């Protein structure tokens, strides 16, 4: 088994508290399902939309990105036998319902 990081990109945030509650319930159900499968290593956290970008020249600008579709909204750490299985497990992610994507990245062992 190896570790993989799910990076959640893009997606539209809820426009109302009721819609936000429904989105949260879908996320919690999906995370619970991954937990029952024994693949969750760290549920991760959602990330705030604000941020700063620090460059090599030490300049600091607002960020993280200009394109909303590229903004990382959160992450989860999972374990799977290989990259294909990790990608397959991500297919139930609720972010797809709001136009977002899941980037699945293997974590290198050091």
User: Does residue 87 have a pLDDT over 70?
Assistant: yes
The size of the chain, in residues, is 110
The total number of structural domains in the chain stands at 1
Strand, coil or helix: 106: strand
Domain that holds residue 63: 2-106
Share of the chain above pLDDT 70, in %: 95
Task: Judge whether residue 49 has pLDDT over 80.
Answer: no
Q: What CATH number is attached to the domain comprising 34? A: 3.30.70.1060
Q: Give pairs for 57-62: CB < 8 Å, separation 24+.
A: none
């Amino acid at each position: 088994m190896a570790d993989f990081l799910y990076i959640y990109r893009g997606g539209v945030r809820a426009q109302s508290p009721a819609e936000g509650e429904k989105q949260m319930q879908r996320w919690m159900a999906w995370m619970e399902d991954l937990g029952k499968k024994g693949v969750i290593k760290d549920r991760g956290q959602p990330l705030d939309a604000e941020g700063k970008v620090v460059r090599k020249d030490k300049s600091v600008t607002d960020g993280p990105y200009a394109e909303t579709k590229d903004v990382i909204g959160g992450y989860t750490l999972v374990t799977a036998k290989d990259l294909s299985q990790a990608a397959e497990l991500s297919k139930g992610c609720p972010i797809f319902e709001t136009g977002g994507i899941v980037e699945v990245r293997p974590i290198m062992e050091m």
